[in-house]
Amino acid sequence: MNLLRLRIEPADGVPFLRDLDRPELVLGRSSKTDVVINDRFLSRVHARIVQRGDEWLLEDMGSRNPTRLNGQPVMSPSALKAGDVILLAESRVIVEGPGGAVAPPADTAGLPAQSDDTLRGSTIFRSASTFFAPEAVAAEVKDPLARSLAERLKFLNEVHRALAGPITLEALLELILERAFAHLQPDEGAVFLRRADGGFDRAASRRLPGASGDLLYSRRLAEEVADKGMAALVTDAGIDERFARAESIVVSGVRSLVAAPLLASEGSHGMIVLSARQRARPFGEEDMELLAALASAAALRIRNLALAEETAQRRLLDKELDLARDIQMGMLPRAFPTSPELGIAATLRPARTVGGDLYDVVEEGPHVWFIVGDVSGKGVGAALFMAVTKTLFRAIAPGEASVGAALTRLNRELARDNERSMFVTAFAARLDRPSGTLEYTNAGHSPTYRLEAGGSIGTLPGPVDPALGAVEEHEYRTSVVRLDPGDGLVAYTDGVVEARNAAGGELAPAGLEAYLRGCGDARPEAIVRGLVEKVEEFAGETPQYDDVTVLALRYRAGA
Amino acid sequence: MEISEERGDGAMVMAPSGRLDSVTSNELEKHVVARIDAGDRRLVLDMAGVEYISSAGLRVLLMAAKRLKDPPAALVLCGLGPSVRTVLELAGFLPLFVIVPARKDALARLRGGA
């Protein structure tokens, strides 16, 4: 026969213990009963517990407030077992196995209700202490406190070992819940992770078969636990004011809840919440402490996983930017028109970040059109604007009456629907090969140098019109010079003159001019290569954030 | 970069200071867009505290001018240091803006246009 004892928690008194030491025990408010319970809502004679064979049966004695066993009204005599909870009006009676802990006085909930290994039946009604005390340890360590500490260490050791290996976030969360279920026996559990916007996602959840209703989540709980980093123990969420006021909490039938923050050094990643509706006994402080320890072990790992994911995402982004860069570079011509009158060469040396430099060379009969441009800003937006500019130039320029007319059209196309007001500075020109006549337009770009056959250098004169894309209607002007045989031209982007060295200095126009003066009658390919080398030499190991683009031509002779 | 704001004479004066590069320009853009979206139709950008402006900074100025063009309103630039003026000039943008020497001139200009 079961040796059971009762732990009585009167509504209006201190808890006390009573062994089931006779075949019949009557419980009620009357002093004539065997177990007098101080609760003004109790009937004088409320219920009784009678022995029948191997069992103890609980029977309601026609009380005004029906007796409940584990939440269910007792309609007929019901068998009791360790871990059961009897509700008599507002008082609670907990059925314990033999050797149960003596209740410290004046505590109303969460006392470790000890049970023994004679327990049978539903997991739901086992008291938590059994999970801290598997048989092996329970046999060796008699002292309940020492036993629970030993078990807790064992549990945490297990968790740490499990978390040590490589693991995905999903697997990690599953593991945490699995451990929490094995040791704390909730009905439901969930891990909530904080989103970037401060809200929470239910990243993982678990529920016992038959557990009903939604998992507990309330903003209030999230504030207390995830935001303030507090572990929470709510012994009866249905009546706990703090949570009853919460907007989204599901209060019906909730009996007990324990929650702990996923706390890492830089803050909280979220929280883990366990709830029990049908548990024999509410969660206790021990459960809360254990969950907090589990959560902190998990938080460190979650943080590392988050960092790893961030790194992986950055790598993916870098890869995409590299791809954008490759596509961009692929758009630029490598081979240039060759003719006896003209040699032309160009190159773009990309910066670390995706930029928006461009060049192009287009033949149209005796004419050669070319452009060197630099889109404002960096990144994918600049790369796209560069691609559009280059494509439009190639489509628009041939056939236009003048360079100014071509850029007027190009500008109109670029400025239309240009919500972000991106723009591209450009030097565009058309050379008539037979005559050496060069028409050109400067749209907000660095001045182009002319290398005269005699060795002197100078910038091409003329007005500066707005960079392309800035304003929708603008008539771009055209300047004209006539190149002499042997003359060279060098157009470039800011990356050349704004190249930086370790000392923070810039190559500057002076550095560019010094180089150009030394070019003599070098071929365009040599001028381009030499200037890029000059920039690289100047910059050394200092990373450059601007593309470097150079276009050079040498006019040899008229027809 | 810091941005100070001051409202007076029916105009919103925004004074960025420091470097207007590709990073800080985004911040200025957000402020300017927020002001315009909130209904400010007369904007003064006092550039006296700006040491350096990149093409990204120019883009923000263009964007502000474009946003205030329709429906008609006004953007006035003032306090341009030599380096800022040079960058605007090199990009061919000087003719695109109303530029006056100082903040009081900008406010007078906006009053006159009222």
For CA atoms B79, B82, B84, B85, the dihedral sign is positive
User: Which stretch of A113-127, A295-309, A443-457 has the lowest confidence by average pLDDT?
Assistant: A113-127
List CB contacts of A25: < 8 A, sequence separation 6 or more: A18, A34, A35, A48, A49, A50
Question: A460: pLDDT confidence band, cut at 50, 70 and 90?
Answer: very high
- Pair A151, A137: CB distance under 8 Å: yes
* pLDDT tens digits, A2-31: 578 888 888 777 777 788 888 889 998 888
- Residue A467: its chain B contacts at CB < 8 A? 58, 91-93
Q: What are phi and psi of A343, to 5 degrees?
A: -115, 140
> Residue A60: helix, strand or coil by DSSP?
strand
Cα gap B54→A39, rounded to integer Å: 79
Q: How close, in Å, is residue A424 to chain B by CA atoms? A: 9
Cα gap A72→A245, rounded to integer Å: 26
Q: What is the pTM of this model?
A: 0.59
* Residue contact B90–A465, C-beta within 8 A: no
| Residue of B56, B66, B92 lying closest to A376 (CB–CB) | B56
Nearest CA in chain B to A374: B55
Which pLDDT value is given to residue A557? Answer: 73
3-state secondary structure labels for all residues of A80-99: CCCCCEEEECCEEEEEECCC
Of A351, A162, A195, give the one whose Cα is nearest residue A270.
Answer: A195
Look over chain A and give the mean of its residue pLDDT values, rounded to a whole number.
81
Which pLDDT value is given to residue A142? Answer: 56
Q: Furthest-apart CA pair in chain B: how many Å?
A: 35
Q: How do the domains of chain B map onto residue ranges?
A: 2-112
Mean pLDDT of A29-37: 85
Nearest CA in chain A to B29: A420
- Pair B109, B100: CB distance under 8 Å: yes
Could you tell me which residue, A424 or A145, shows the higher pLDDT?
Answer: A424
A·B CB contacts under 8 A = 55
Which pLDDT value is given to residue A255? Answer: 67
- Pair A189, A273: CB distance under 8 Å: yes
List CB contacts of A15: < 8 A, sequence separation 6 or more: A7, A8, A9, A103, A105, A106, A107, A108, A111
Q: How close, in Å, is residue A473 to chain B by CA atoms? A: 11
Which pLDDT value is given to residue A133? Answer: 39
Greatest mean pLDDT among A41-45, A159-163, A393-397: A393-397
Give the ipTM: 0.88
* CATH number belonging to the domain at B2-112, selected among 3.30.750.24, 3.40.50.970, 3.40.50.300, 3.60.21.10: 3.30.750.24
Mean pLDDT of A377-397: 90
* Residue contact A423–B59, C-beta within 8 A: yes
Q: Is A236's pLDDT higher than 80?
A: no
Q: How close, in Å, is residue B114 to chain A by CA atoms? A: 24
User: Percent of chain B at pLDDT above 70?
Assistant: 98
Structure tokens at A45: 């004679």
* pLDDT tens digits, A121-148: 222 222 323 333 344 444 445 566 666 6
A522: exposed, middle or buried (C-beta count within 10 Å: 0-12, 13-18, 19+)? Answer: middle
Q: How close, in Å, is residue B65 to chain A by CA atoms? A: 10
Mean pLDDT of A98-127: 33
Nearest CA in chain A to B33: A420
Q: How close, in Å, is residue A470 to chain B by CA atoms? A: 7
Chain B residues with at least one Cβ partner in A under 8 Å: 22, 55-56, 58-60, 62-63, 66, 89-93, 95-96
Which pLDDT value is given to residue A254? Answer: 54
* Residue contact A376–B90, C-beta within 8 A: no
Q: What are phi and psi of B20, to 5 degrees?
A: -105, 85
Mutation test of the interface with chain A: which of B21, B62, B96, choosing the one with the most A Cβ atoms within 10 A? Answer: B62
* Residue contact B93–A446, C-beta within 8 A: no
